Amino acid sequence: MDSIILKYAFAALTALAISATPAAAVEQNCRFIQAKPDREACYKRQEEELAAKRKPAAPASDGTTLETLRQMRQDDDAVYRSINNICRGC
């Protein structure tokens, strides 16, 4: 009885491990394609998918970022001017 439960538990864990690694499963599929052009096309698709996943997201708007930096610089200059007008050690 215990051996039957153990077998089912092992099968369930194995299925979970296989489903948790989809990239490896896709790679396996490409490896077993017999026709060389089809296999190479499969590998190329995989590389493109991985590159798309690794590519960082582009910033939404560069103009807004530049304007924000410009505004921060103006604010900093105003603070520095007010600090310089403070009497130190009067």
* CA 57 to mean position of chain CA atoms: 9
Q: Does any domain span residue 20?
A: yes
pTM of the model: 0.36
Q: Does any domain span residue 40?
A: yes
Q: Does any domain span residue 89?
A: no
Q: CA 12, CA 84: separation in Å to the nearest integer?
A: 71
Q: CA 30, CA 34: separation in Å to the nearest integer?
A: 9
The residue range of the domain holding 66 is: 2-84
Residues 61-76: tens digit of each pLDDT: 666 788 889 999 999 9
* Token code pair at residue 13: 């864990």
Q: Does any domain span residue 38?
A: yes
Q: Does any domain span residue 73?
A: yes
Total of domains in the chain = 1
Q: Does any domain span residue 90?
A: no
Residues 1-46: tens digit of each pLDDT: 566 776 776 676 666 555 555 555 555 688 888 899 999 999 999 9
List C-alpha distances in Å: 61 to 54, 65, 68.
21, 7, 11
Q: Does any domain span residue 76?
A: yes
Longest pairwise C-alpha distance within the chain: 91
